[in-house]
Amino acid sequence: MTSPDHPTAPAWSHIEEFLRAHEADRIPHPGGTLLAHLTRVAARLADWGTDSAVQTAGLCHAAYGTDGFDGALLALDERATLVDLLGDRAEAIVYLYASCDRAAVYPRLGRDETPLFHDRFTGEDHTPPEEDLRAFLAITAANELDVFVHNAELAARYGPGLYELLSRSRTLLPPAAWQDWQDWHHQRPHLT
């Protein structure tokens, strides 16, 4: 995270140390390691102009595991550790991202005016504030784009569905995010 292209990168050095201490640099992931992926996601979010809490959440979005990635770096009863590291807002975004039951939530996004989120950890439904929904979608867009760029098989299997989801939700995405997705989609005509 020391790239001069991302002025917020030095502020992330303590988070990167935390991720290394939790072996994110040893966990395989499309494009190298989980740490490399997390770093690219945070950098993409910075490029898209998201605020620092969203970028920081992007850097740690897999801390509790996700519906698509089982490897958790922290247990849910350790949320206070992440709050201390990231702050309340960024940790809440990480939790929202990690807790999302994708099979229940994705079909609702962009279709329901106030989409219910199903928390896969608690089994409860809730409606996140628009600011949190925007953060969730930005991280989703950055995460999946990075995965698809580095794994053609996953891109072929899940790319069309994610593109459709983001198309329905594009008014909640940063404009640069939607542009990157359109560019990626048009470079891969076999996915249409």
Percent of the chain with pLDDT over 70: 93
**pLDDT tens-digit readout, 158-178:** 999 999 999 999 999 999 999
Dump the DSSP string for 95-110: HHHHHB-HHHHTTTTT
Q: Is the pTM of this model over 0.85?
A: yes
Higher local confidence (pLDDT), 115 or 27: 27
Determine the pLDDT at residue 2.
35
Q: Write out the DSSP string of 4-38.
A: TT-TTGGGGHHHHHHHHHTTTTTSEETTEEHHHHH
For the segment 104-123, the average pLDDT, to the nearest whole number, is 91
Say what the pLDDT of residue 113 is. Answer: 77
Residue with tokens 């593109």: 163
* Domain architecture of the chain: domains with CATH: 9-183 (1.10.3210)
Looking at residue 70, its pLDDT comes to 81
pLDDT at 69: 83
pLDDT digits (tens, 9 = 90+) for 16-66: 999 999 999 999 999 999 999 999 999 999 999 999 999 999 999 999 999
d(CA 132, CA 25): 28
